[in-house]
Amino acid sequence: MHIVEILQRWTESNAFFTWLRESPSVWAYPFVFFVHTLGLVFTAGASVVIDARLLGAARRLPIAPLARFYGAIWIGLACTVLSGAVMLGSDLETRIKNPFFPVKMLFVVVAIVLTALLRSRISSVDSAESTVSPPMRALAAVSLLCWLGAIASGKFAAYF
């Protein structure tokens, strides 16, 4: 049996996903959606601001200490991914068929990989000079576009 079918059967019969799908309470599905939105705006927002710094905004801001923000960024990301997976499970069949779904997943995966790559490089940027190498600037530009792309494809997916 196909892995998607197995997951589908499980989420359809699972008590938690059924409750999430059917409960009219504001503390059911809307709350999970709230956690998703909150985690996403912080994670994407902080990443976009760091990307903008690497691309030349706020030049007087030293780069290396920005690495300390990643603890909060990873917490935000964990909230977003977990709540996203839960919402996906509550309506697996419809969501997986949405043409924007693979586009969004591609943006998200590339954005997360680039966030991890930039995190590992940021602490070694010389604070006195704060010069950013062209490859790092390229990573920052792609990261910025992927976060915005993930948000846009998520919004468009809801109308398709």
- Judged by CB under 8 A, how many residues of this single chain contact another protein? 40
Among residues 11, 20, 47, 114, which is the contact residue for another protein, using CB under 8 A? Answer: 47
How near is the Cβ of 46 to another protein at its closest, in Å?
A: 5
Give the interface segment with another protein, choosing from 2-10, 32-40, 111-119, 133-141 (CB under 8 A).
32-40
Residue 3 vs 158, nearer CB to another protein: 158
Residue 33 vs 101, nearer CB to another protein: 33
Separation between Cα atoms, residue 104 and residue 87, nearest integer Å: 14
Cβ-based neighbours of 121, under 8 Å, separated by 6 or more: 136, 139
Torsion of CA 58, 44, 140, 73, to 10 degrees: 90
Residue 24 vs 135, nearer CB to another protein: 24
Would you state the structure tokens that stand for residue 96, as one six-digit string?
């997986």
Among residues 11, 17, 20, 48, which is the contact residue for another protein, using CB under 8 A? Answer: 48
Amino acid at residue number 48: V
Separation between Cα atoms, residue 156 and residue 160, nearest integer Å: 7
Q: Is 88 in the site for another protein (CB under 8 A)?
A: no
